[in-house]
Structure 1
């Protein structure tokens, strides 16, 4: 651990940092305005960042480390400015036919995709359960990262966040190489490609209707790209949590993590947000990302970066 910096010196350092943090915040707002337009989310983000940076030494260290996740969020948001369907053909009918041929379920003499099968067998219990599972894909990784930080597992904290972002970047590459429509798109629009199609709650609308709310509607109205179903990164995230949970020997917590992971995998298909092929691709992306990151972190550039970040947050 680093020695404690005297209060007066700390105040002087923070005053020096003020132009930098305000400048970064202003540049982010300006760039965001021109790329994706103004949104209140952007003000919330920079407010949280600046508040945590200046409120105390421990929150400053936390937000510096957590800025790795913020970078991911900004990249994801900016994808709206560069729709993947502008760069490659969107796969709609061929992906649907592949899903049916490999994972098809026969019912009443007709071959159905798993999504179509569950669309015929919905019930309120599964609607609510899958909705709760799908809500966990963000809070669980964030809470796990916060636990690692405040439990003084700073190296695992950084490795977890960097793995999370690395897996996302790998997934983003596939998004642009292989734009793919989700199952709900076929259910609502058939096999015709319609550029600029807005996000849709699909089967999660049943969760909203059950509770009389518009939670998922508000979430999916902000989606960056409808044609980014392959791979399912929703399916990748919980696997990363389970991996680092196992490394940290959080045995009881990992029972919860594994339950959430399997629940999200099922929910993705049940709610028609992803094909089973998308889920398997997401799992594969997570595995590739974890192993490749473990290799990269032993190489000098990334090892030096991690060591520099550790000094800042320890």
Structure 2
């Protein structure tokens, strides 16, 4: 499968692009410094962007296409500067009791949330399996997007734009309905503690099994603890599965479905999300997919997609 847009690119004077790319890079560093402070990740990001932009024609097209994802990542990072709990009350006890009343599991004389049930029934096999599934929530969508870039550029853009659009919808819910994850209740009860740092929760057992600090380092960079509803970890693999089935990937679809279900289970098993969060994430993905399919037929977005296709083809 290939894009309908011709792949020829007219020769261009890249020296003329240098002030623009360096200017954007500098502006990004300045804004980042004032909003979230300096981090080496920022230099790595602009280093990768500029290197790929000037390395060759194909890498330039590649990074221009992936700039859609870069914009999402920057927005996610900047959320640290605007904690959602400053705008609406955080839901802790009410969400916990809702989870228990709807999805509760009887254990003797007790009624447990699914997270509490699995906390009592952990084992090394599930600790390792769920850890590997949770590691796939970004690499699988990125690898899938890279494959689409080389095989079907229109679907590549559709996939990335749907991915970002679903995230933006999820971010809106984060601010309208700040919510604490299950591990927060397990560690802090129902009291709200502003500025609570990220936590590996059940994924710490994966780190302990391999004697590493992989997930500890990942969750130390989290943007907001009180952003459990919806679970966007649960939304991402569903978007991959949707576009994989549209592309008729056959055997690869089995892998994508396994990853999707595995991430859904891991979210609950590791106490990072309630089952209600997972279902909200699935709903967010579905709303994102169907609303994007409607939006891409409207002139403003259709024109943007056509312009992007010309840039990356």
TM-score (norm 1): 0.97
User: Is the partner of 2:17 in helix, strand or coil?
Assistant: helix
Q: Partners in 2 of 1:2 and 1:221 — Cα distance?
A: 42
Aligned length: 308
Match of 2:99 in 1: 99
Deviations 1:26-76 (A, max 9, x none): 000000000000001000000000000000000000100100000000000
Structure 1 residue 4: deviation in Å?
4.6
For 1:18 and 1:252, locate their aligned partners in 2 and report how far apart those are by CA, in whole Å: 44
Q: Could you tell me how far apart the structure 2 residues matched to 1:249 and 1:159 are?
A: 16
Measure, in 2, the Cα distance between the counterparts of 1:33 and 1:251. Answer: 46
What is the 5 A alignment of 1:114-133?
114-133=114-133
CA distance in 1, matches of 2:217, 2:180: 20
The residue that corresponds to 1:16 in the other structure is 16
1:215 aligns with 2:214: yes
Structural mapping, 1:249-264, within 5 Å: 249-264=248-263
Alignment partners' CA distance in 1, 2:227 and 2:14 = 41
Q: Which residue of 2 aligns with 1:178?
A: 177
Asked whether 1:140 is paired with 2:140, we answer yes
TM-score (norm 2): 0.98
Instruction: Tell me the alpha carbon deviations over residues 87-146 of structure 1, each in whole angstroms, 9 at most, x when there is no partner.
Output: 000000000000000000000110000000000000000000000000000000000000
Whole-Å Cα distance in 2 between the matches of residues 252 and 234 of structure 1? 23
Match of 1:51 in 2: 51
Q: How far apart are 1:251 and its partner, in Å?
A: 1.1
User: For residues 1-314 of structure 1, what are the structure 2 equivalents within 5 Å?
Assistant: 1-5=6-10, 9-10=11-12, 13-151=13-151, 153-314=152-313
- Gaps in structure 2 of 5+ consecutive residues: 1-5
**Aligned Cα RMSD in Å?**
0.6
Q: 1:180-225: per-residue Cα shift (whole Å, max 9, x none)?
A: 0000000000000000000000000000000000000000000000
CA distance in 2, matches of 1:191, 1:61: 49
